[in-house]
Structure 1
Amino acid sequence: MKLLRYGAPSAEKPGLLDHTGRVRDLSGVVADIGGDTLRPDALKALRDLDPASLPLVEGVPQQDLRLGPCVGGVGKFICIGLNYADHAEEARMPIPPEPIIFNKWTSAICGPNDPIQIPRDSVRTDWEVELGVVIGKPGIYIDEADAMDHVAGFCVINDVSEREFQLDRAGTWDKGKGCDTFGPTGPWLVTPDEVSDVDNLAMWLDVDGKRMQSGSTSTLIFKVPHLIAYCSRFMSLQPGDIISTGTPPGVGMGQKPPRYLKGGEVVTLGIAGLGEQASRVLPSAQA
């Protein structure tokens, strides 16, 4: 099942993608794709619906029908740093002995085709394709063996990052991670029954048609169940929380010479079975 949110920003409606690639309206069934709608019993009720019984939405998704972020009302946007050994190497940082946790502010979340806005005073805005894990069943101190029972689904995330803010501005990584538009999320939330092997998903990212990142979740240092269990030691996980699991090599910071976004570029990215994004980069609006 592929769940989504469509329509104007801040006024998205819930929907699902049918087998023909068209959107079916769920607003007569649920209020949104988020929160309690993502609990296991609620997802089962959606799965039992006949998509053909739902109203057909006009337009083609990601063409003449805008898609919003695939999860609404996100409570926590948790990110994992340096979770691919080859990315840690290109960043000239040691492989961490346990997961590195940082946050993106929820105000960074935007749709999968919405523009990315380079922030004021930015000099090193970068890209990162990542697998997102969305929590459905709440929990704290979750056992790793039970962790996948807490997953509502998976999605594509671009962990857009300003490296100077992140690394050189006397603070935590969060400072360079949570600018507005730095969290394109979607196009859809894909439930686990449609993801045959989350540990072997191809992922890629292009800038203006040039392949920059090419990797696979098979090289994650800390796998999804471990990340869920680990994060739940430090906070309760609630329906709609997102864990963004890290990026493979090929980020702008790792290019020789480094390459950063200036404005005018189109960043396209995707993960096998989870869909694709395409975002135009807007130059910084200086004061």
Structure 2
Amino acid sequence: MRIARYVADGGDPGFGIVELAADAGDHPDTIAAINGDPLAGPVKYTGERHSLDDVRLVSPVIPRSKVVAIGKNYAAHAAEFHSTVPSEPLVFLKPNTSVIGPGEPIVYPPETADLHFEGELAIVIGRICRRVPADRAAEVIFGYTIANDVTCRDLQAKDRQWSRAKGYDSFCPLGPWISTHLSVAEAGNLRLTTTLNGEPRQESDTSLMVYPIPRLIEFITSFTTLLPGDVILTGTPHGVGPMLPGDSVTVSIDGLGSLTNPVVAED
């Protein structure tokens, strides 16, 4: 199942179930409206249906408390910055105010001269959880989506910590929807690509993560409680690089879709 948040006819954002032509269903490339928030409990179809071409997709999840991100979780990415893989997952936080949706602009702030894209697989948490053993990680996962961990590379080096460099408003694009049908094993074996203005920049596979999904959930919940709607960014592969106002960046993951955002200068 693919769960999206969307805006239709200038109304308020709502949730819906996406059906694609590839599904060979009765309503290809449409979104069927549902009542309520699927992360909060059971929902029902309203009977309202829209063509995907007629709606605007927004971030499929509104993190209620936090975005937990992982650094240096691909050996080749660590190597491209002349670094080593940490002995345990390297965790940092991004504020929930950094989240935007598909098509929304990544805002290039005046404080940086080196803004980078970082395509990633994202996990959406579905229940309150603490100290989850790796073999039970699947029980707390609601689904998966795509993320771009936007980073001011120069501020990251200057500050020697990552809060400002990765925490600006618009620095966490998520979308286009949450896919709930994948198993943990399937999510850990997906092709990931990032393109800048249509040119390939990152080409890798989630199977190359140093710390796989169950280990990440086990480690994160060893020190903090995760809430429904919290998001885990699982790290980026090699090939990250700069982007400028006027550029367009797309992160694609097999089975999950594509997330595209333009880059604009801050007014």
Q: C-alpha deviations, 1:225-270, integer Å up to 9, x for none?
A: 1000100011011111100000111001xxxxxxx22210111111
Query: Could you tell me whether the CA contact under 8 Å between 1:5 and 1:33 is conserved in 2?
Result: no
Instruction: Give the superposed CA RMSD.
Output: 2.0
Residue identity over aligned pairs, in percent, reads: 32
Q: C-alpha deviations, 1:52-103, integer Å up to 9, x for none?
A: x73112x42xx44211101124321000000001101001111110000001
Q: Which residue of 2 aligns with 1:14?
A: 15
Whether 1:219 and 2:208 are equivalent positions in the alignment is: yes
Change (3 A) 1:10 1:25: closer
User: Which is strand-richer, 1 or 2?
Assistant: 2
Q: Which residue of 2 aligns with 1:25?
A: 33
Q: Which residue of 2 aligns with 1:209?
A: 198
Q: Which residue of 2 aligns with 1:257?
A: none
2: distance between equivalents of 1:73 and 1:248?
24
Q: Which residue of 2 aligns with 1:235?
A: 224
Query: Could you list the runs of 5+ residues in structure 1 that have no partner in the other structure?
Result: 253-259
Query: Could you tell me whether the CA contact under 8 Å between 2:62 and 2:96 is conserved in 1?
Result: no
Q: Which residue of 2 aligns with 1:187?
A: 176
Whether 1:141 and 2:120 are equivalent positions in the alignment is: no
Change (3 A) 1:64 1:10: closer
Query: Could you list the runs of 5+ residues in structure 2 that have no partner in the other structure?
Result: 20-24
Query: Could you tell me whether the CA contact under 8 Å between 1:121 and 1:284 is conserved in 2?
Result: no
TM-superposed CA distance for 1:21, in Å, is 2.1
Whether 1:56 and 2:64 are equivalent positions in the alignment is: no
Q: C-alpha deviations, 1:21-80, integer Å up to 9, x for none?
A: 201111xx21x354x24xxxx3xxx5xx6x6x73112x42xx442111011243210000
Q: C-alpha deviations, 1:3-38, integer Å up to 9, x for none?
A: 010018993111110241201111xx21x354x24x
Query: Could you tell me whether the CA contact under 8 Å between 1:33 and 1:72 is conserved in 2?
Result: no
Query: Could you tell me whether the CA contact under 8 Å between 1:33 and 1:70 is conserved in 2?
Result: no
2: distance between equivalents of 1:68 and 1:114?
8
Which of 71, 89, 93 in structure 2 is aligned with 1:99? Answer: 89
Q: Which residue of 2 aligns with 1:256?
A: none
One-letter code of the match for 2:257? G
Change (3 A) 1:179 1:10: farther
